[in-house]
Amino acid sequence: MRMGNTRSPSLEEVLRMATHQALFDVHTALPGKVEKYDERTQKADVKPLLKRTVINDDGTELSETLPVISDVPVLFPRAGGFFISFPVQPGDFVLLVFCERSIDKFTAGTGGEVDPVDLRMHDLSDAVALPAFYPFSRPIKDANPDDLVLGQDGGGAQLAIKDGGKVEITFDKGNTLALEGMGAGAKLTLGDGAKHVAIVEALQALWGNLKVALDLWGSPATGHVHTSAAPGLPTSQPLAALTTPAWDPSIASSKVSIPNG
């Protein structure tokens, strides 16, 4: 039906417009930036970084800034009594995920099944934050293609779990500490391991030399004495034989090494 230069929209067009209008307020996931963070509660105030597009009655589009969302739970990996956490800072990027229904009763409870009561769906107030959704211009500088790595990006300390059971810690100045093997075959290396001396082996050799010297010095045959002016008359009695303990064989040898120099 036409009236002048206008016509009535078809049923299909009406339904499509109504569906689009309803979807404008359905939120699923958005990038966000942390404005404030409380490490005690693990809650953050987060600013959504994508604007909301509104279509006016005349067909024109208007972009609206979404409000900062307060008290957003920040989700760290956590299970079985273990967790991984890191210090979230203002300016960090996160992925905001908007839960299907109200999470108010769940977050205020102890983890049991709850009735959300509120009928809202995919609402801004039901967001949780997953850290680390950064733009392509800010990739991880020290990303490793082969190892599992925990650490500070851009030159800080890092811990790498490598294939074959080797664990390596790299410190701020580039020095390393590596642990590999299990049981009697385990080996701890300080430094790059290219040239090293075995600490325990060196100590064992030193102890052996000291033991020989001390035992000889304190033996009755060669004991240390002071002689007097009169020939053959000592001013003191020879020292009793020393009982220097032998090296403890339970102290393993080449398990620990350091760079040579």
What class has domain 2-139? mainly beta
Q: Compare 126 and 191 and report the one with higher pLDDT.
A: 126
Q: Is the dihedral of CA 234, 235, 237, 242 positive or negative?
A: negative
The per-residue pLDDT for range 11-61, each reduced to its tens digit, is: 887 787 777 777 777 899 999 999 999 999 999 999 999 998 877 767 677
pLDDT tens-digit profile of 162-198? 988 899 998 877 778 888 877 777 777 776 544 444 4
What is the reported pLDDT for 67? 95
pLDDT computed for residue 197 by the predictor = 42
Which secondary-structure segment (H or E) carries 206? helix 199-217
pLDDT value at position 248?
A: 66
Least confident of 104-108, 156-160, 222-226: 222-226
* Confidence bin at 2 (pLDDT 50/70/90): very low
Q: Taking the chain, what is the end-to-end CA distance rounded to the nearest angstrom?
A: 94
Q: Which residue has the tokens 């020939």?
A: 231
DSSP assignment of 41-104 equals TTEEEEEE-SPEEEE-TTS-EEEEPPPPEEEEEB---EETTEE------TT-EEEEEE-SB--H
pLDDT value of position 193? 47
With a cut of 70, say whether residue 239 has pLDDT above it.
no
Answer for the pair 98, 28: CB distance below 8 angstroms, yes or no.
Answer: yes
Q: What is the pLDDT of residues 100-109, one digit of tens each?
A: 999 999 999 9
Delimit the domains of the chain by residue range: 2-139, 196-259
The fraction of the chain above a pLDDT of 90, given in percent, is 41
CA distances 88 to 82, 175, 250, 255, Å, are 19, 27, 46, 39
**Do residues 200 and 190 make contact, with C-beta atoms less than 8 angstroms apart?**
no
